[in-house]
Chains A and B, each alone.
Chain A
Amino acid sequence: MRNRATAIRIVLIVWIVASIAGDVALAFGPIPPGQASDLASSESLTILLLAEIAWPVFAGVLAALFFTLVVNRLAPPTAVVSPEALRGNTRVQTAWIAATLVIVLSLAVYGTVALAIDQPGAGISTVSAALPMPTSTDQPLEVQVIAQQWWFTYRYPTYGGIETSQLVLPVNQKIQFHITSLDVTHSFWFYALGVKGDAVPLNDNVVTATPTQTGTYRVQCSELCGLWHGNMSDNTAMVVSPSDFATWIQQQTTLDAPIMKFLVPYSHTYEPSPTIYGT
């Protein structure tokens, strides 16, 4: 009996130490997807929070499993248990269900609130006109992402609807991504910014994020879209200073000038190329 009490204490202490150590490590560790945008920061925070809650529970269940499997064997219980207690205990069951319910409900409430505050997007826009040129960094700059097999192109409606093959964004400027597709379902994933939205033909999927760190990043397709899905990525997406962005836009406008008259007018969705079977 004495061994058993000691064992219980040791398991408890190990669990508490492990929980605290794990949670502290998590709090100081890098949490993906990082801090390169407000959206990414909020996703990192959510992931961190969930991990902070999940780790002690996870460790607790493992500790309980370990305890029941190993300690009982080394130091067998001696107390006599009634047949009823062997078959269930309403109070324990109620408490367990109540505890899991509380955790789950608070997670759901937290998730809903986070979703409501951040409006992190992936919702279909019903607006047909493009946004006006933002007058401040709080107003969103509209950038369109057009997915097709097997690359992305981008259009900047406030800069004459020019079309580019590289994604360049000004830092600290709120960006409204409008994601659409010309053929099958794709998904636009800008990992560092925490932006992910399915590209569906004749749909305008909107995600909003403000990049906060300059740099060169990777964008890729995250929905299986056929043969070269694995190669539908680009390592040259950039977040740059506003002045560099202005220079870049200027260059692209010059480059695009000869082809502008052949380009389809800017729109939130485009008539898909024929994907009927047989092509």
Chain B
Amino acid sequence: MSTRPTLARRLNEWGLLLGVIGAVIGFIIGFAIGTIAIGNSFNTDHSLGSDPGILLGYALSALGFLAGLGFLNYPIGRLLGAKRPSEEDNAYMHGEAGGLRRYFRMTTDHKVIGLQYLVMILAFLFIGGLGAMFIRTELLTPSPTIANAQSYLTLVGLHSTLMIFMASAAIIGPFGNYFVPIMIGTRNMAFPRLEALTFWLLPPAGLILLSTVFLGGFTTGWTGYAPLADQNVLGMDAYLMGFALIGLSIGLSGLNMIATILTKRAPGMPLSRMPIFVWSVLVTSFLGALASPALIAAVLMEMFSRTYQTTFFVPAGGGSPYLWENLFWFFGHPEVYIFVIPAFGLIMEMLPVFTRKPLWGYRVGVGGMVGVGVLSFVVWQHHLFVSGLAPSLRPFYMFSTEMISVPTGIIYLVSLGTLWRARTRFSTPMLFIFAFFFNFLIGGFTGVFLSDVPSDFSLHASYFVQAHFHYTIMGAEVFALMGAIVYYLPKMTGRTMDIKLLRYQFWAVFLTFNGTFLSLIAVGILGMPRRVISYAAYLQPLNDSASIFALALGLSMALFLGILIWEVVIKQRVAAANPWESLGVEWQVPTPVPTFNFDRVPVSWSLPYDYDTGKPAADFGPVAPALTGA
């Protein structure tokens, strides 16, 4: 260790501040170039500035933010042929010095990144949830009250887009980054800087999206259908740039996870001994890496359209709205499985701990997740059943969509098999697991009605759809996320929440969630389209029921956050080392997890579900004499 920190390191300590300064400078430069040099040659006349200026400003502000954090140091060093970072430099970047400050700078420690993800995602999820509260308050009455049409649609767009952004990393981000390297027995990800980048793309993406309120908002919702998007004011650019950054983050995170899981497993771990959560991350990563480029292509086209005035999606200019719809949903449908497959993995990972039984049907469980992943690429046209496009292809997409119930059914089979003949421990995470099964069951069965073309004619684009995907995303993914927070916080922070108090919170959130979305299922069946600020008077009682439940749901979620902050940050309630008595390797390493995870990487691994024999997943003990000769 050198006694005097280098300049680069001292700057790195102030990375977050420098990042903000870089973002401001980047925006000013980009805006100026875009407006003066490019904007002038087009007839883009807006009081707030031009689309090229805004888009370039956003792009350079994101770049400036990353540069301030120190992301450019390494690549520029390589371009100049400088020496590779020394071991000492790498250890510094990894956060070896410890301390709280490494959570506020760029670091390559996957555990720090996992916690950064957790905090960032919770913050944005709650901002998005606040949007939902406004929406439900507005819908208490059939005509506009607290919002006007523009602000209402902007709220709808912000709530949905922000939630989609965060949901795509809600489980992989915190738990994938934190636990996958430990679970597969490696000290680090394949590309630690890339891992840091996927996290640090999140704040600019979220903030750029939120900045749309200063630019007039956007009226397209999260689907961004063109040509409505072409018609929108500058706020649309915020949506496009935010989505581009998120697409990049999803793709790069996928790439990094695939490389890590497939090439950096401990030598003693063939694929057949990989924990099922790691499998779910692997499948999800393939979806992310292979689907997000389609989104990036679509977003690039729309950016071109808003700056160079191309007409990809404008019928009068030779384009077609269907082009956007196809590209968007080709990404969009795998995307929804990016949300839920990690939740499958987490649920199946946690279940054996509480049933004290081995995971029943590990191989079919893996097969189920792979099957969902593969099928998710060939179902996207079910979003276009009433669009008029290619009616002769509808039977195929109906078939492929309904086929997805087979692999998802397998998840239930594995879970039921694991629960079978078990004396389940009803600990608080188990309650969330139970809620996951209940909610996803409703989400799945409502999906059947939407996959069948004749019934979809009636339900398409109605609140039934809205309730359906809230059951799958919130009911499944967010409940799994909450369960996992309760389950894994003792490991990640060494602190725990009051799990007795959380039981009341659980029942509050479970009942209000179902109250809200069962009401909305009914609203949809009775004919209320999505994203409307005014609705038919006869729908008011059900809407009021949904709104009141939703506000209570908001309070219950806030209660979760309150308990989390109170117990973990303020009271700092100390957790037991392995409170759930898990055999998983992540619970065998010390808490807090050492900077480089292991003193010595275990070479003898088994599946972490041997609750009948009680054998831990990895052998940390001294090398067995019988093996030394091998």
Q: Are A277 and B309 in touch, CB under 8 angstroms?
A: yes
Residues of B374-417 at the interface with A, using a CB-CB cut-off of 8 Å, are: 385-389, 391, 394-395, 398-399, 402-403, 405-406, 409-410, 412-413, 416-417
Shortest distance in angstroms between B457's beta carbon and chain A's nearest beta carbon?
5
From 20 to 53 in chain A, residues with beta carbon under 8 angstroms from any chain B beta carbon are: 32-33, 39-40, 42-43, 46-47, 50-51
**Which of B220-228, B256-264, B548-556, B557-565 is near enough to bind chain A?**
B220-228
> Are A62 and B230 CB-contacts (below 8 A) given A47-B458, A77-B421, A93-B413?
no
A88:B399 contact, CB within 8 angstroms: no
Is there a chain B Cβ closer than 8 Å to A5's Cβ? no
Identify which of B25-33, B191-199, B311-319, B591-599 touches chain A.
Answer: B311-319
Residue of A nearest to B611 (CB): A86
Bound: A42/B385 CA distance, A: 17
Q: Which residue in A69, A89, A100 is a CB contact (below 8 Å) of B434?
A: A69
Q: Which residues 251-303 in B have Cβ within 8 Å of A in the complex?
A: none
Alpha-carbon gap, A112 to B400, bound state (A) = 12
Residue of B whose beta carbon sits closest to that of A98: B406
**A96's contact among B305, B398, B409, by CB below 8 Å, is which?**
B409
Size range of the chain A interface in the assembly: 35 or more
Residues in B with CB closer than 8 Å to A248 are none
Indicate if the CB atoms of A276 and B413 lie closer than 8 Å: no
- Indicate the member of B309, B385, B453 with the most A CB atoms within 10 Å: B453
Looking at chain A's contact residues, is the secondary structure mostly helix, strand, loop, or mixed? mixed
Is A263 engaged at the interface, CB distance under 8 Å to the other chain?
Answer: no
Which of A112, A233, A279 interacts with B395 by CB under 8 Å? A112
- Complex Cα distance A86/B420, Å? 9
Assuming the A-B contacts A89-B417, A97-B406, A104-B403, are A227 and B454 also in contact, with contact meaning beta carbons closer than 8 angstroms in the complex? no
Contacts A61-B412, A124-B389, A224-B531 hold; do A72 and B228 have CB atoms under 8 A apart?
no
Rounded to whole angstroms, the CA-CA distance of A50 and B450 in the bound complex is 11
Q: Is A221 an interface residue (CB 8 A)?
A: yes
Number of residues on chain B facing chain A (CB within 8 A) = 95
Distance A272 CA – B226 CA, assembled complex (angstroms): 14
Q: Which residues of A contact B385 (CB under 8 A)?
A: 122
> Is there contact, CB below 8 Å, between A230 and B533?
yes
Min CB gap B223→A, angstroms:
8
**Contacting residue for B527 out of A33, A47, A179, A202, CB 8 A:** A33
Report how far A57 CA is from B422 CA in the complex, Å. Answer: 23
Task: State whether A107 and B448 are in contact (beta carbons under 8 Å apart), knowing that A223-B225, A223-B461, A227-B153 are contacts in the complex.
Answer: yes
Write out the residue numbers on chain B whose beta carbons fall within 8 Å of the beta carbon of A42.
454
Provide the A110-151 mask, 1 if CB < 8 A to any CB of B, else 0: 111011001011111000000000000000000000000000
On whether the beta carbons of A118 and B454 are closer than 8 Å, the reply is: yes
Q: Does B370 contact A (CB under 8 A)?
A: no
Chain A, Cβ-Cβ closest to B316 = A272
Shortest CB-to-CB span from A194 to chain B, Å, is 6
Q: Mark A191-206, 1 if CB is under 8 A from B, else 0.
A: 1001111101111011
- Whether, in the assembled complex, A73 has its beta carbon less than 8 Å from a beta carbon of chain B, the answer is yes
Q: What is the CA–CA distance of A223 and B458 in the complex, to the nearest angstrom?
A: 13
Between A and B, 27 residue pairs with Cβ closer than 8 Å are A43-B457, A54-B449, A58-B445, A65-B437, A68-B424, A86-B358, A87-B361, A88-B360, A88-B361, A88-B364, A97-B410, A101-B406, A108-B403, A110-B452, A111-B453, A120-B453, A184-B225, A184-B227, A189-B461, A201-B227, A203-B388, A206-B388, A223-B461, A224-B220, A276-B230, A277-B51, A277-B232
Chain A residues near B14 (CB-CB < 8 A):
none
Residues on the A chain within 8 Å of B613, using CB: 83
Say yes or no: is A183 at the interface (Cβ < 8 Å to chain B): yes
Whether A198 lies near B149 (C-beta < 8 A) is no
> In chain A between 190 and 244, which residues have their CB closer than 8 angstroms to a CB of chain B?
191, 194-198, 200-203, 205-206, 218, 220-231, 233, 235
Residue of A nearest to B453 (CB): A115
**Provided the pairs A194-B458, A222-B460, A276-B317 are in contact, do residues A100 and B358 lie with their beta carbons within 8 angstroms?**
no
Residues of A at under 8 Å CB distance from B? Answer: 32-33, 39-40, 42-43, 46-47, 50-51, 54, 57-58, 61-62, 64-65, 68-69, 72-73, 76-77, 79, 81, 83, 86-89, 92-93, 96-97, 100-101, 103-104, 107-108, 110-112, 114-115, 118, 120-124, 179, 183-185, 187, 189, 191, 194-198, 200-203, 205-206, 218, 220-231, 233, 235, 271-272, 274-279
Query: What are the residues of chain A within 8 A of B363 when measuring CB–CB?
Result: 88
CA distance A88 to B421 in the complex (A): 13
**CB <8 Å contact, B458 and A43:** yes
Contact A93 B361 (CB under 8 A): yes
- What 1/0 flags go to B358-376 for Cβ under 8 Å of A? 1111111000000000000
Quick check: B422 and A276 within 8 Å, CB to CB? no
